[in-house]
Amino acid sequence: MLKKGMVRALGAMSGTSLDGVDAAVVVTDGVRIEAFGPTAFRAYSDDEQALLRSGLGQWPSDRLDPVQELVETAHAHVLSGFDSVDLIGFHGQTLAHDPDNRRTHQIGDGRVLAEVLQLPIVWDFRSNDVDLGGQGAPLAPFFHHACAQWAGLDAPVGFLNLGGVGNLSWVDPRISRPQDDGAVLAFDTGPANAPLNDLVQVRTGQPYDAAGALAAAGQVDMAALERFLEHGYFRKIPPKSLDRDDFSMLSDAVKTLSDVDAAATLTACAAASVAQGMEHCPTPPAQVFVTGGGRHNPTLMAMLAAGLDCSVMPVEQIGLDGDMLEAQAFAYLAVRVMRGLPTSAPGTTGVPSAVGGGILSYPLSAQETSKALTRAEK
């Protein structure tokens, strides 16, 4: 049983950029954020990233056992370093996402972590939404709405996460509950860091375009950019979501370009997809706060500032941690799941009505205690 009022929830996220596991504590009751706690990061080695890449696009099977073991071990390592935690929100590693066929695959078993860490684990956040006809993504928007309220904002704003895939949350903090009409609209904007990271890895052996230096030195291939923007995804009405490799054709689009021109073109594609997405917002956001690794790329940030009709800044400008926002989101969502509150709604994933997602797993010894308490309450 989760105690009433504010609790210390620990969230963990291993994103599509495959750089490592973020972990962060949030003090919350699942509605209001009271405080942000300690954070930690466990990087994946080059060999571990290669193993994770080998599983991308794959659905559950025994051949993914080494990938699952890596994900669970890495998470157990970083999460075991936290004290005084009431529960954990464990996202797992997305390997494949196909909501149109009601499938999504985040590898990692929360039951294993519950036993190892001896704490309740909320996991498999996306499947219920997908089963009910939603996109299963993005899931951070309810948390973004709470962040806007925590920051005292009083007008609609955007939270733009630039991970492997870009996603935008348009939130109106003047509306009290995120599941209410008009409070939140969210969708994946398009590819963000994934195509660029993959290009840089293959061509230079580096994991990403550090400080956007390659892109800054190149010229955008406008023909390739225009072809990219003709993709049918940009004509779809949100909510909508993407798999990490849905735009894998971009690698072919830039294969004849120099390293610097290819990097510049892929960076421009990421920025242009965000500009296209802004057309879907109910009203123009007063500001866009950028989170995720992309905010460390000055070339990408400059392209965003040039393409959007509002100020663009890192989320640190309002006191948030852009490296940990996704992990914090799953801490917050874990509390909502435990308390029977919705985690997605028509405006975030396209699910027909507000729903809660996630499986709750207790350590085996705690399961018996929980059952006894439930029987006693009856």
Strand partners, 291: 161
- Are the C-beta atoms of residues 97 and 130 closer than 8 Å to each other? no
Q: 342-374: per-residue pLDDT in tens? A: 999 999 999 999 999 999 999 997 665 555 445
Instruction: Kindly list the strands in the beta sheet with 184-191, ordered across the sheet, starting from the edge strand earlier in the chain.
Output: 184-191, 165-171, 157-162, 287-291, 311-314
- How far apart CA 271 and CA 192 sit, in angstroms, is 8
Q: What is the pTM of this model?
A: 0.92
| Predicted pLDDT of residue 252 | 95
Strand-strand pairing, 87-98 and 121-123: parallel
Closest by alpha carbon to 74, among 107, 121, 37? Answer: 107
- For range 142-168, the mean pLDDT: 96
| Predicted pLDDT of residue 376 | 45
Q: Where are the beta strands (DSSP E) in the chain?
A: 7-14, 20-28, 33-43, 87-98, 103-107, 121-123, 157-162, 165-171, 184-191, 287-291, 311-314, 359-361
Q: Look at the block and give the residue holding tokens 């509950």.
A: 177
- How far apart CA 130 and CA 277 sit, in angstroms, is 22
Q: 78-92: per-residue pLDDT in tens? A: 999 999 999 999 999
Domains assigned to the chain: 7-138+324-377 (3.30.420.40), 154-318 (3.30.420.40)
- How far apart CA 372 and CA 32 sit, in angstroms, is 30
| Predicted pLDDT of residue 255 | 97
Strand-strand pairing, 157-162 and 287-291: parallel
Q: 164-200: per-residue pLDDT in tens? A: 899 999 999 999 999 999 999 999 999 999 999 999 9
Contacts of 248 (CB under 8 A, 6+ apart): 195
- How far apart CA 23 and CA 290 sit, in angstroms, is 19
Long-range interactions of 59-67: CB distance < 8 A, separation 24+: 59/95, 59/96, 59/103, 59/105, 60/105, 60/107, 64/95, 64/107, 67/93, 67/95, 67/107
- For range 233-261, the mean pLDDT: 92
Q: 211-245: per-residue pLDDT in tens? A: 999 999 999 999 999 999 999 999 999 989 888 88
User: Measured on CA atoms in the order 66, 72, 75, 80, is the torsion positive or negative?
Assistant: negative
